[in-house]
Amino acid sequence: VVYLVVFHLSFVMFVWSYWKTIFTSPASPSNEFSLSKADKEQYEKEERPESQQEILRRAAKDLPIYTTTASRAIRYCDRCQLIKPDRCHHCSACDICVLKMDHHCPWVNNCVGFSNYKFFLLFLMYSLLYCLFVAATVLQYFIKFWTNELPDTHAKFHVLFLFFVAAMFFISILSLFSYHCWLVGKNRSTIETFRAPTFRNGPDKNGFSLGCSKNLREVFGDEKKYWLLPIFTSLGDGCNFPTRLVIMDPEQLTVSSQNEPAKSSGANQSFPTRPLSESQNRLLASDSQWVESGPEEENVKSGNLNCNTSDDS
């Protein structure tokens, strides 16, 4: 009875997670990241990159964008014709901009990003457990096969094949799952591992890391009872993310000091007052809940900013 319960439970969770990973649409930026009709026409008429960047800077001044290109230009997608939010990249396979894009996975025929990254992790975990369960239950017959204790029937070759397939998939999935667990702990995407995001103070691969516990909850949410279920519980809206390494430009500091003073969590370290969603602000404000919280992590005023899905690299 226990065998059947574990088998069916692992299979159901595996199929459910796989289904959610495949059929959850990649999240794209909301309309506020698109240029206005006038700005778009002016951008297309301009031939000089400097003039185009000036148009993009003017359009992005009120957007929660902290990262730039390696050449310190505003990240803009010519295909989707929008200013890309932080951690957003354009998928050439899906031909859309995907929020917090990790990679395009051919095994699920979908982009893995903000909207389904939790489902992808659970899919890997339940696949791993399912392969381990199959290999463990077949192991006794596999041993009998090599000791010639298994009856001489055609079924013994099926046992051999099943064990090798389960073991091979277990080893390959284990390496991939371990890698993504490391990424979650560092709050990085696969793209950011190979190309560190560029902030105003330069590239930094740990720019979005808030400590292991906060990084984990950013993906899986605050309610631990939902962590192992393939239902969406990730924090934030996918368009802006808390970061501890953002240093404002002198012009922004002047403006913010006139309107609303920027809060500081460390000596001589100022942080922008751009809005963050309530869930993201919760990551920054509830320092008493986290062991990893340090003086370098910022407290930012919260606001309401609703986003949908998509990006470009």
How do residues 117-149 score in pLDDT, each as one tens digit? 999 999 999 999 999 988 888 888 878 777 777
Return the domain boundaries, the chain.
1-25+115-250
pLDDT of residue 279: 38
pLDDT of residue 140: 83
The question of whether 105 is a catalytic residue gets the answer: yes
From 8-22, 126-140, 241-255, 268-282, the region with the lowest mean pLDDT: 268-282
pLDDT of residue 125: 95
- pLDDT surpasses 80 at 94: yes
Q: Could you identify the residue written with the tokens 């077949």?
A: 138
User: Between 284 and 117, where is the model more confident?
Assistant: 117
Question: Could you give the percent of the chain with pLDDT greater than 70?
Answer: 76
Considering the candidates 80, 94, 105, 131, report the single residue annotated as catalytic: 105
pLDDT of residue 152: 67
Dihedral pair phi/psi, residue 66, rounded to 5°: -115, -15
- Closest alpha carbon to 79 in 65, 94, 68: 94
pLDDT of residue 245: 60
- Burial profile 76-87: b = 16 or more Cβ within 10 angstroms, e = fewer: bbeebebbbbbb
pLDDT, the chain, mean: 79
Q: Could you identify the residue written with the tokens 């500081």?
A: 264
- pLDDT surpasses 80 at 238: yes
Neighbouring CB atoms inside 10 A of 71's CB total 8
pLDDT of residue 50: 92
Burial class (CB within 10 angstroms; exposed 0-12, middle 13-18, buried 19+) of 193: middle
Dihedral pair phi/psi, residue 60, rounded to 5°: -95, 0
pLDDT of residue 145: 77
User: Between 24 and 4, where is the model more confident?
Assistant: 24
| Residue 278 one-letter amino acid | E
pLDDT of residue 128: 93
